[in-house]
C-alpha cells in the first residue's frame, strides 16, 4: 500500500480483458485492453464460452502490463476494483476471482463496480483529468446516456459530498442500440462488432434513402404491461418509467431484415462475409469448439474511401446502412434531449461503445449547442470497454470505505440506481 491513491481496475464483463491503474481517481497511469474481436468477429456476436477462455488466457499478462506501464508493483496499490456485473457470468467470474486473489494476497480492499457506473465514470475521469486532476469533490448533476452493446439506459447522475447516486430515467424495452448495430451488421455480412463497420460505411450512403420511421421503434410491449423480452431488458422494471424515455431497437432491426429479404440481399451479404472473414455467415461458436475453424484471421480493416466502400457494398446497401444509423441516432437524440429538458439537466454525458459513433457525436453536439446544453463524450478509447473507468468509479467508494465482501460473486443482471 503506497498511500498514493493507486487503484488497479479489472474489467472482464464481455469481450475485452482490461486492466488499468488510476491515481486519486483522476490520473490514468495505464490502461491496457486486450480485445477478443479476432475471436468473435466471424460469429456475428460474442460466444460466451470462447470469451471466458480468452479472459483466462489474457488476464495475467494484461494486469502485468498495466502495472508495468504505470511503473508500479502490486505492493504499491491501495485497492483493487473489479466489475461485478452486469455482463456474462463466466467472463465476469474470471476478473472477480483474480481480483479477489490479488486483494487477499496484498491485504488491500476489494471494490465491486457496476459496469454501467464505470461507463459514466469514463466521462467523469476524463473531465477530472482535463481539470488537472482536481481532487476535491464537486457537487454536480448530469443526465447520462449509456449506450452500448448490452445497454441503452438514461440515468440522472448526482454527486453529493463525493458520492454518486443514480436514478434510472429511461431504458430500452428490448434490444440495446449496440445490439441492433451488431445484428444489422451480421445480416449484411459485416462481422462483429458491427458498430464500427456501420459507422464507417454510413458515411458513403444517403441517410434519407430509406425512411425508417420512429413508429417502427415500438414501445408497445411496455404500454401493454408485457414483461421485457430480452435479457438486456430484464435488469430493471420499466412500468414506472415515463414512456417518452423508453427505447426499442428490435423493430428497426426487423425492418432492415425485411429489406434484406425483399431486395434479395442475402447472397450479397454471404459473399461479403466470405470475402472479409473467409467463412460461412451464421456459423456458430460450436464450430471452433469442435476444432473445425481453428485458424484465426486478422480482423479486416475498415474501408477508408468511397471507392473502398463501394468495392464492399453497392450504393443501395450503403444507403440502407446510412438510413439505419440516421434513424437510430435520431431516436437516441430525441429521447435524450426530451429527458434533459424534462429534468432540467444542463449537462449530458453520452458514453458506452455506441458513443464512439461519428454521426452520433456530431448530431448530439449540434443539438446540444442549439439548446445551450453541454454534451460530453469520452475519448474513443474510453468509450468502449476499458478498466480505467472501473478504477475511476471505485475511487469515491474507496474514500467512503465501501468495500466488497469476501463472498463477492458475479451478478450478470446487476442493476444501477433505482
Ligand atoms: O461499451 P462496449 O464496448 O461494450 C458493452 O458494454 O456492450 O460497447 C460495444 C458496442 C457494440 O455493440 C459495438 O458494435 C458498438 O458498441 N460500437 C459502435 C461503434 N463502436 C462500437 N456502435 C456504433 N458506432 C461505433 N463507432
Ligand atoms: Zn460496456
Question: Residue 235 — very low, low, confident or very high, per pLDDT cuts 50/70/90?
Answer: very low
Percent of the chain with pLDDT over 90: 78
State the average pLDDT over residues 147-162.
93
CA of 384 relative to ligand 1 center, distance in Å:
6
Q: In sequence order, what are the residues at sequence separation of 6 or more whose Cβ sits closer than 8 angstroms to the Cβ of residue 240?
A: none
Q: What pLDDT sits at residue 298?
A: 76
Look-up: residue for cell 491513491? 5
Q: Angle 315-343/177-187 helices, nearest 10 degrees?
A: 170
CA of 285 relative to ligand 1 center, distance in Å:
20
In this structure, which residue's CA is closest to atom 19 in ligand 1? 195
In this structure, which residue's CA is closest to atom 10 in ligand 1? 149
The answer, yes or no, to whether any atom of ligand 1 lies below 6 A from the CB of 15, is no
CA of 28 relative to ligand 1 center, distance in Å:
22
The answer, yes or no, to whether any atom of ligand 1 lies below 6 A from the CB of 150, is yes
The answer, yes or no, to whether any atom of ligand 1 lies below 6 A from the CB of 181, is yes
Question: Are 355 and 378 within 8 A, CB to CB?
Answer: yes
Question: What residue ranges define each of the domains in the chain, with the CATH number in brackets?
Answer: 6-138+381-400 (3.30.420.40), 177-220+231-378 (3.30.420.40)
pLDDT digits (tens, 9 = 90+) for 47-89: 999 999 999 999 999 999 999 999 999 999 999 999 999 999 9
Helical ranges in 283-314 per DSSP H: 286-289, 306-312
pLDDT digits (tens, 9 = 90+) for 116-144: 999 999 999 999 898 876 655 555 899 99
Residue 281 has pLDDT above 80, yes or no: no
Chain center to CA of 394: 18
Q: What pLDDT sits at residue 104?
A: 97
Bridge-based pairing of strands 27-35 and 110-114 is unpaired
Report the nearest atom of ligand 1 relative to the CA of 385: 3
User: pTM value?
Assistant: 0.92
The answer, yes or no, to whether any atom of ligand 1 lies below 6 A from the CB of 78, is no
CA of 99 relative to ligand 1 center, distance in Å:
25
Mean pLDDT of the residues in the chain: 90
Look-up: residue for cell 502490486? 74
Amino acid at each position: 500500500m503506497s498511500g498514493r491513491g493507486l487503484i488497479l481496475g479489472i474489467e472482464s464483463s464481455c469481450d475485452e480483458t482490461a486492466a488499468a491503474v488510476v491515481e486519486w481517481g483522476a490520473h490514468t497511469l495505464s490502461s491496457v485492453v486486450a480485445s477478443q474481436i479476432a475471436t468473435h468477429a466471424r460469429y456475428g456476436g460474442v460466444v460466451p464460452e470462447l470469451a471466458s477462455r480468452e479472459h483466462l488466457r489474457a488476464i495475467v499478462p494484461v494486469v502485468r502490463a498495466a502495472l508495468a506501464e504505470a511503473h508500479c508493483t502490486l505492493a504499491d496499490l491501495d485497492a483493487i476494483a473489479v466489475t461485478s456485473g452486469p455482463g456474462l457470468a463466466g467472463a465476469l467470474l474470471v476478473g472477480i476471482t483474480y481480483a479477489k486473489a490479488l486483494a487477499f494476497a496484498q491485504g488491500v480492499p476489494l471494490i465491486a463496480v457496476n459496469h454501467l457506473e464505470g461507463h459514466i465514470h469514463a466521462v467523469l475521469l476524463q473531465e477530472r483529468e482535463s481539470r488537472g486532476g482536481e481532487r476535491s469533490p464537486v457537487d454536480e448533476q448530469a443526465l447520462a446516456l449509456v449506450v452500448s452493446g448490452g445497454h441503452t439506459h438514461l440515468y440522472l447522475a448526482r454527486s453529493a459530498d463525493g458520492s454518486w447516486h443514480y436514478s434510472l430515467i429511461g431504458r430500452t424495452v428490448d434490444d440495446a442500440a449496440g445490439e441492433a448495430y451488431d445484428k444489422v451488421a451480421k445480416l449484411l455480412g459485416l462481422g462483429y462488432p458491427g458498430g464500427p463497420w456501420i459507422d464507417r460505411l454510413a458515411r458513403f450512403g444517403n441517410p434519407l434513402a430509406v425512411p425508417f420511421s420512429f413508429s417502427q421503434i415500438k414501445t408497445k410491449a411496455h404500454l401493454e404491461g408485457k414483461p421485457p423480452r430480452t435479457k438486456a431488458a430484464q435488469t430493471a422494471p420499466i412500468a414506472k418509467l415515463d414512456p417518452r424515455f423508453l427505447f426499442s431497437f428490435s423493430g428497426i432491426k426487423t425492418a432492415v431484415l425485411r429489406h434484406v429479404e425483399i431486395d434479395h440481399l442475402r447472397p450479397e451479404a454471404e459473399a461479403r462475409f466470405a470475402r472479409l472473414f473467409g467463412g460461412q455467415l451464421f456459423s456458430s461458436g460450436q464450430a471452433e469448439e469442435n476444432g473445425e475453424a481453428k485458424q484465426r484471421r486478422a480482423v479486416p480493416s475498415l474501408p477508408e474511401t468511397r471507392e473502398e466502400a463501394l468495392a464492399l457494398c453497392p450504393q443501395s446497401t450503403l444507403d440502407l446502412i446510412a438510413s439505419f444509423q440516421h434513424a437510430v441516432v435520431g431516436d437516441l437524440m430525441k429521447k435524450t434531449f426530451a429527458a434533459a429538458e424534462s429534468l432540467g439537466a444542463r449537462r449530458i454525458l453520452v458514453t458506452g461503445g455506441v458513443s464512439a459513433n461519428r454521426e452520433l457525436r456530431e448530431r448530439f453536439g449540434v443539438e446540444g449547442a442549439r439548446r445551450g446544453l453541454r454534451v460530453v463524450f469520452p475519448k474513443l478509447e474510453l468509450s468502449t470497454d476499458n478498466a480505467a473507468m472501473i478504477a475511476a468509479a471505485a475511487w469515491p467508494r474507496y474514500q467512503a470505505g465501501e468495500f466488497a465482501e469476501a463472498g463477492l460473486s458475479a451478478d450478470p443482471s446487476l442493476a444501477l440506481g433505482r
